[in-house]
């Protein structure tokens, strides 16, 4: 397979590039930054690929909502180039995007007179061990109303044993990422909250945690007993985007807000620096 990765110098893009390289795909790397084997001119990358993976940033806006400007710009660039080169692109979005975003990107591609194939595939790697996670993913999720294309995207990951979960729409796949990150943040905040009781009582929080997570219905993930608030690039960004999205939809987000309040309180009270928080990223 010939695969173009847009945003190939980033955490997700570079891990994906290495992963595809391991499985002998022919990978073309695009980024706005210069780097080894990077082609900065997107037009020279496109035209002969089987699939394009979009891995560009989706930062927070000032109000906490998600800023899709870069993904949108890249989508317009793909549309423009594909129209000039007269072919219908196949695009897989990996960037974390609020539900409805992939459908919006598909609409943009269609405005260029194209019949694109589009899928959304959330990425679950952790920043601190991106390539190791990419090589041993917990699961591969793909959402697309185009069943055949979803299967082709899954085919790119045939080298991995991980469970493969397909959705017949973009939105469910987009939501998987937000469920996962909000839940992860919730667990960390929950255990951090409980630690305060152990500390007040002079009990060993770590020993309590070990006893609690023996229960398989509780599980161990995110329960490292450190008393460190969550942080890093993604958790706050994704939490905030979901709260903002909830406001737009008229959905109650009180639990999400209190998880964030709890975390902010810990950061300020104990004067944590952002570098202290990346252990969860």
DSSP track, 51-86:
EEEE-----B-TTS-B--HHHHHHHHHHHHHHHHHT
- Among 35, 45, 34, smallest CA distance to 6 is for 45
Q: How far is the CB of 56 from ligand NAD (least distance, A)?
A: 4
The token duo for 20 is 């595809």
What are the b/e assignments for 229-242, b being 16+ CB within 10 Å?
bbbbbbbbbbbbbb
Cα three-residue angle 49-158-26, rounded to 5 degrees: 30
Would you give the binding string for ligand NAD spanning residues 82-101, x where CB under 6 A is met?
A: -------------xx-----
The only residue of 4, 74, 78, 241 in contact with ligand NAD, by rule CB under 6 A: 74
Candidates 68-76, 167-175, 182-190, 252-260 — which segment interacts with ligand NAD by CB under 6 A?
Answer: 68-76
- Among 122, 109, 46, 52, smallest CA distance to 75 is for 109
Residue 75 touching ligand NAD (CB under 6 A): no
Strand, helix or coil at 210? helix
Would you give the binding string for ligand NAD spanning residues 10-39, x where CB under 6 A is met?
A: xxxx----------------xxxx------
Candidates 79-87, 124-132, 243-251, 270-278 — which segment interacts with ligand NAD by CB under 6 A?
Answer: 124-132
Contact call for residues 199 and 205 (beta carbons, < 8 A): yes
For ligand NAD, how many residues bind (rule: CB under 6 A)? Answer: 27
Contact call for residues 280 and 231 (beta carbons, < 8 A): yes
The only residue of 67, 127, 223, 278 in contact with ligand NAD, by rule CB under 6 A: 127
Would you give the binding string for ligand NAD spanning residues 200-239, x where CB under 6 A is met?
A: ---------------------------------xx-----
Residues that bind ligand NAD (CB under 6 A): 6-7, 9-13, 30-33, 55-58, 70, 73-74, 95-96, 123, 125-127, 130, 233-234
């Amino acid at each position: 397979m010939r695969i173009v990765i847009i945003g190939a110098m980033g955490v997700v893009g570079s891990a994906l590039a290495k992963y595809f390289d391991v499985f002998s795909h022919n990978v073309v790397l695009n980024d706005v930054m210069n780097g080894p084997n990077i082609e900065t001119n997107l037009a020279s990358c496109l035209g002969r690929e089987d699939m394009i993976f979009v891995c560009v940033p989706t930062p927070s806006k000032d109000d906490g909502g998600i800023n899709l400007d870069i993904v949108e710009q890249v989508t317009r660039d793909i549309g423009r180039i594909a129209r000039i080169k007269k072919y219908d692109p196949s695009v897989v979005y990996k960037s974390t995007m609020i539900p409805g975003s992939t459908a919006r990107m598909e609409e943009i591609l269609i405005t260029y007179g194209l019949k694109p194939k589009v899928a959304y595939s959330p990425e679950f790697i952790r920043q601190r061990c991106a390539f190791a996670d990419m090589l041993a993913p917990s699961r591969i999720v793909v959402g697309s109303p185009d069943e055949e294309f979803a299967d082709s995207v899954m085919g790119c990951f045939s080298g991995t044993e991980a469970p493969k979960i397909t959705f017949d729409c973009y939105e469910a796949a987009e939501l998987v990422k937000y469920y996962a990150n909000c839940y992860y943040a919730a667990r960390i905040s929950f255990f951090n909250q409980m630690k305060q009781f152990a500390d007040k009582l002079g009990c060993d929080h770590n020993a309590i945690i070990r006893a609690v997570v023996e229960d398989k219905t509780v599980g161990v993930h995110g329960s490292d007993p450190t008393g460190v608030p969550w942080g890093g690039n993604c958790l706050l960004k994704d939490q905030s985007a979901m709260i903002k999205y909830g406001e737009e939809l008229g959905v109650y987000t009180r639990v999400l807000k209190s998880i964030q309040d709890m975390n902010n309180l810990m950061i300020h009270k104990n004067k944590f620096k952002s570098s202290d928080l990346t252990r969860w990223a």
